[in-house]
Amino acid sequence: MLTAFARAFRTPDLRKKLLFTLGIIVVYRVGTHVPIPGVNYKAVETCVNEASGNQGLFGLVNMFSGGALLRITVFALGIMPYITASIILQLLTVVIPRLEALKKEGQAGTTKITQYTRYLTVALAILQGTGLVATARSGALFSGCSAASTIVPDQAIFTTITMVICMTAGTAVVMWLGELITDRGIGNGMSILMFISIAATFPSALWAVKKQGSLAGGWIEFGTVILVGLVMVGLVVFVEQSQRRIPVQYAKRMIGRRSYGGTSTYIPLKVNQAGVIPVIFASSLLYIPALVAQFAGGNSAWKTWVERNLVNGASSGSAPSPIYITLYFLLIVFFAFFYVAISFNPEEVADNMKKYGGFIPGIRAGRPTAEYLSYVLNRITWPGSLYLGLIALVPTMALVGFGASQNFPFGGTSILIIVGVGLETVKQIESQLQQRNYEGFLR
């Protein structure tokens, strides 16, 4: 592995891409600590220290922003508006014929969809920035903090507009930095920035486990969490790399005196075809009633029920309720099937195979091929969806016993993103190395 890294840095153009990517990462991390006007940062630091390990509803979003959300910095919204916009456009592509036609136009259509994604990102950033400022002004951003009401001392409308503009501009800069990594760096810019945001929370989360431990000064709990994390990473890598390969044979065609086709290939169907998106969808859907209950006044019966049953208690060090666990698991399974259904169209794949003379051995071309692909896809989506549900729930419940919060890097959504982005980045570097020699990045 070390020789592979050395070989990558010895290649001039690849070295430039790696150094450029590292430079963008440094700029991004600096931006997560640049303050915006109108915020009392002494009160912010006080509340952040008091909320350490108990970040409530905003803990997950704060993790995706690399800790910038609760500090209300220029990059407070982070990459989340772009991720949300990308998911919305991807879902609308199935519903709106115009977007579906653009998707089929190739590079020109993809460029247009990317432009729409940028516009939607800015709109969502304005909306989320306004919501964050309103939450900070009301004191709900840090519930229970004595200094929460003094975070935004100036209640003037001009100050609010200035804060929203700064955070929206920060989101646009983050989006630009991600695209720079994609175009001039090693690729997967947005994913790498998300990876960096989550990885930035590792040291503080691990040290919190050590401080809250009681065995041998907390070092036994610390070592146990590290060991469990390594085992989980190995398990996630194994499942993420697992795939069902459907063999495809192309018939020979005579064009003039030359013979074309006759090759064999395969369709790779991953066990986890949906990636981490079902977990994000399920978390967001369960996040809505808890957020509404937090802003609702009084102590009504429905608010009490929501706070007792639909809020992940792991954020405060207690186990989630059985209702929350059941709903979370079922939603992950549902969204896994839903996302696979809209992202992989067996009929379209079967039609393309038939058009170019391809067929699955033993299966007739056309409708029987589409039915066979649907059958196989449903069979492998079941273990994939159950795997996502277990990865999202089991680490959270187990790590509560060690004093870790629900947003601990070795649990749930974060480990799926870290492992997935890590594997994809390694493949990118390996493919660029293989253009120059046959050894690649991993031997």
Name the residue ranges covered by the structural domains of the chain: 1-200, 235-411
Which amino acid, one-letter code, is at 79?
I
Structure tokens belonging to residue 254: 């005579």
What is the predicted pLDDT for the residue at 287? 75
The closest alpha carbon to 169, from 20, 22, 36, 25, belongs to 36
The closest alpha carbon to 407, from 28, 33, 54, 32, belongs to 54
The closest alpha carbon to 283, from 178, 388, 190, 401, belongs to 388
Mean pLDDT, residues 146-175 taken together: 86
DSSP per-residue codes, 133-177: HHHHHHT-TTTT-TTGGGSS----HHHHHHHHHHHHHHHHHHHHH
More confident position, 307 or 44: 44
What is the predicted pLDDT for the residue at 92? 85
Q: Which residue has tokens 């060991």? A: 227
User: CA dihedral defined by 326, 332, 334, 340, rounded to 10 degrees?
Assistant: -170
pLDDT, tens digit (0-9, with 9 covering 90-100), for 168-190: 999 999 999 999 998 888 888 88
More confident position, 219 or 394: 219
Residue 141, pLDDT > 50, answer yes
Structure tokens belonging to residue 52: 């350490």
Q: What is the Cα–Cα distance from 375 to 317, expressed in whole angstroms?
A: 42
Helix (H, G, I), strand (E, B) or coil at 321: coil
Q: Which residue has tokens 């440094």? A: 26
User: At CB < 8 A and 24+ separation, what contacts does 48-51 make?
Assistant: 48/142, 50/142, 50/144, 50/145, 50/146, 51/142, 51/144, 51/145
What is the predicted pLDDT for the residue at 398? 60
- The number of residues making up the chain comes to 443
Residue 202, pLDDT > 60, answer yes
User: CA dihedral defined by 164, 168, 171, 176, rounded to 10 degrees?
Assistant: -150
Q: What is the Cα–Cα distance from 254 to 251, expressed in whole angstroms?
A: 10
Residue 400, pLDDT > 60, answer no
Q: Which residue has tokens 């390990």? A: 53
Task: Please state, rounded to an integer, the average pLDDT across all residues of the chain.
Answer: 80
Residue 254, pLDDT > 70, answer no
Residue 89, pLDDT > 80, answer yes
What is the predicted pLDDT for the residue at 165? 94
User: Using CA of residue 149, residue 152, residue 158, residue 163, what is the dihedral sign?
Assistant: negative
Report angle CA 392, 235, 78 to the nearest 5 degrees: 50
- Band of residue 407 on the pLDDT scale cut at 50, 70, 90: very low
What percent of the chain has pLDDT above 90?
14
8-state DSSP, 263: -
Asked if 294 and 58 touch (Cβ cutoff 8 Å), the reply is: no
8-state DSSP, 363: S
What percent of the chain has pLDDT above 70?
82
Asked if 174 and 28 touch (Cβ cutoff 8 Å), the reply is: yes
Tell me, yes or no, if the pTM score tops 0.85: no
Asked if 240 and 423 touch (Cβ cutoff 8 Å), the reply is: yes
* Range with top average pLDDT, 241-245, 276-280, 320-324: 241-245
Residue 6, pLDDT > 80, answer no
Mean pLDDT, residues 186-211 taken together: 82
- By mean pLDDT, which of 51-60, 145-154, 293-302 is the weakest? 51-60
What is the predicted pLDDT for the residue at 191? 86
pLDDT, tens digit (0-9, with 9 covering 90-100), for 344-376: 888 888 888 888 788 888 888 888 899 999 999
Residue 258 CB neighbour total at 10 angstroms: 7
Structure tokens belonging to residue 15: 């070295």
More confident position, 109 or 301: 109
What is the predicted pLDDT for the residue at 164? 92
Mean pLDDT, residues 181-203 taken together: 86
Domain 1-200 in this protein, CATH class: mainly alpha
Mean pLDDT, residues 131-150 taken together: 76
The closest alpha carbon to 431, from 23, 11, 111, belongs to 11
DSSP per-residue codes, 222-237: HHHHHHHHHHHHHHHH
Q: What is the Cα–Cα distance from 305 to 313, expressed in whole angstroms?
A: 13
> End-to-end distance of the chain based on CA atoms, in angstroms?
8
Asked if 420 and 198 touch (Cβ cutoff 8 Å), the reply is: no
Residue 260, pLDDT > 70, answer no
Domain 235-411 in this protein, CATH class: mainly alpha
What is the predicted pLDDT for the residue at 315? 47
Q: Are the folds of 1-200 and 235-411 the same?
A: yes
Q: Give Cα separations from 231 to 83, 225, 237, 286 (angstroms).
A: 29, 10, 10, 29
What is the predicted pLDDT for the residue at 118? 92
What is the predicted pLDDT for the residue at 170? 92
What is the predicted pLDDT for the residue at 226? 82
Stretch (H or E) spanning 260: strand 258-260
pLDDT, tens digit (0-9, with 9 covering 90-100), for 302-316: 777 777 777 665 444
